[in-house]
Amino acid sequence: MDCRRMLCVLLCMIYMLHVTGLWWAMGRHLVLDPGRICRKTRRLRGKQNLICTKEPEVVTAIGEGSRMGILECQHQFRFRRWNCTTAKRSLKKVLTRDTRETGFVNAITSAGIIFSITQACSYGQLLDCTCERNAPPAALTAAPIQDTAAEGRWEWGGCSDNINFGYRKSKEFMDDRFRRRSDLKTLLLTHNYEAGRLAVKRYMKVVYKCHGMSGSCAVKSTWRKLPLFREVGNFLKEKFDGAAKVMPGNDGQGFIPEGATIKPPDREDIVYTEESPSYCEPDKKTGSLGTQGRHCNHTSIGVDGCELLCCGRGYEAVRRTSRINCNCRFQYCCEVQCETCDKRQTYSRCL
Ligand SMILES: *[C@@H]1O[C@H](CO)[C@@H](O)[C@H](O)[C@H]1NC(C)=O
Ligand SMILES: *[C@@H]1O[C@H](CO)[C@@H](O)[C@H](O)[C@H]1NC(C)=O
């Protein structure tokens, strides 16, 4: 494809590179003024173009969703050597590879986007979508209802978060442009996008409200509700820890697990093809920033412990003094008076 023919270089890049980082880079612009960007997308084709020109509210939700994704990534990775930093020289590189980190970032971004579109629908921000009034599929409802249906009658009612709309719309926007491609990198990317969407679906909640005389629960109306995004993040982090290494299939189609005894990854699993670097030292090629100067916990033996985080280079104790309010007293009447004290803190820092 010829980039120069595109009106907007930024959108051309999105179209050509499947790097999720660009969603993030775009996030702020989209939220501020989705219309402005969308006016420039006439050259984009297919579903993406349709959404961009006809549904700017969806584009806004996509921008917000990708930001949610990155914030969650930074939370989940806060103690890791690669901490999901958005520094361009790091994130961009990480996303052009196919390591576990790449897989996680793509999955959590996709999860953020389905989440945010679904939420925007419930808030009434999207024109062609309303809450879902039909009973959800049995698979989703079986467990919670059996658990609590000791008494009363169940009725589906109220307004369910429309996860099916979110699913359809986010898939259209993110996957459609790869429809005709089946190279390994694209397969990995769309697989991990799907894993992210399914993670949100899996954690949908069934909630209920009681109706009946004086607080009895003669009738319970139930609906489906989005989970906390943190739950989705925790789940995808587990999937990151157990991610499946794959390689191209023998027939040139798809991918298969690396190692004949390993069970093939299912749709919810994060997949990758490339081993991660150690991220110990700065390396332009991999996007590693190194861990020098990172705070670590010298009593922990986990990933946040100084031994692992500092890669055996050792660490130093840093003393820091900050001024805080202290000895606060309530004065009659009515104010609180405090003194300021020095609070001394020590933390450890990687050499
Ligand atoms: C992430 O790591 C980089 C260097 O590796 C560091 O500069 C940055 O402060 C870290 N971010 C957080 C939130 O800890
Ligand atoms: C450091 O690690 C120890 C042991 O895992 C834990 O109990 C403690 O809360 C950690 N400290 C901080 C500041 O995270």
> Which pLDDT value is given to residue 135?
56
Same domain? 127 vs 160: yes
Where helices occur in the chain by DSSP H, the ranges are: 9-16, 21-32, 34-38, 46-54, 56-76, 88-96, 100-122, 138-148, 163-175, 184-202, 229-241, 306-309
Which residue among 289, 317, 338 closes a domain?
A: 289
Whether residue 214 is found in the same domain as residue 323: no
Residue nearest to atom 11 of ligand 2 (CA): 297
For the question of whether the overall pTM of this predicted structure is more than 0.75, the answer is yes
> Residues with beta carbon inside 6 Å of ligand 2?
297, 299-300
**Secondary structure (3-state) at 123:** coil
Same domain, 29 and 102: yes
Q: Are 249 and 306 in a shared domain? A: no
Cβ-Cβ contacts under 8 Å for 336 (sequence gap 6 or more): 328, 329, 330
Same structural domain for residues 300 and 250? no
Substitution site in 78, 79, 294, 299 for ligand 2 pocket (most atoms within 8 Å of beta carbon): 299
Residues 62 and 139 in one domain: yes
- 223 shares its domain with 135: yes
Instruction: Among 254, 289, 324, give the residue marking a domain's end.
Output: 289
Burial class of 344 by CB neighbour count within 10 A (0 to 12, 13 to 18, 19+):
exposed
Type of residue at 18: H
341 and 310 within one domain: yes
d(CA 300, ligand 2 centre) in Å: 6
User: Minimum-distance ligand to the CA of 85?
Assistant: 1
Q: What is the pLDDT of residues 108-148, one digit of tens each?
A: 999 999 999 999 999 888 888 887 776 554 444 444 444 44
8 assigned to some structural domain:
no
At residue 134, the pLDDT reads 64
Question: How far apart (Å, rounded) are the C-alpha atoms in residues 54 and 41?
Answer: 11
Residue 37 · residue 8 · CB < 8 Å: yes
Give 296 Cα–ligand 2 centroid separation in angstroms.
Answer: 10
Q: Is residue 9 in some structural domain?
A: no
In a domain, 13, yes or no: no
Low-confidence ranges of the chain (pLDDT < 50): 1-37, 41, 137-150
* Same-domain check for residues 33 and 155: yes
Is 12 within the bounds of a domain? no
Strands ordered across the beta sheet of 335-350: 295-296, 335-350, 315-331
State both tokens at 5: 């023919």
Average pLDDT, the chain: 81
In a shared domain, residues 145 and 195: yes
The number of domains in the chain is 2
304 & 285 share domain: no
The residue whose CA is least distant from atom 6 of ligand 1 is 294
42 and 165 share a domain? Answer: yes
Q: Is residue 298 part of a domain?
A: yes
Kindly list the protein residues whose Cβ atom lies closer than 6 A to any atom of ligand 1.
Answer: 83, 85, 289, 291, 294
Domain that holds residue 82: 20-289
Residue 299: nearest ligand to its CA? 2
Domain boundary among 241, 264, 289: 289
Residue 14 lies in a domain: no
What's the CA gap between 322 and 341, in Å, rounded? 8
291 alpha carbon to ligand 1 midpoint, in Å? 8
Q: Is residue 42 part of a domain?
A: yes
Q: Is residue 165 a part of any domain in this protein?
A: yes
Spell out a b/e string for 125-144, using b for 16 or more CB atoms within 10 Å of the CB, else e.
ebeebebbeebbeeebbeee
pLDDT of residue 335: 85
CATH number at residue 334: 3.30.2460.20
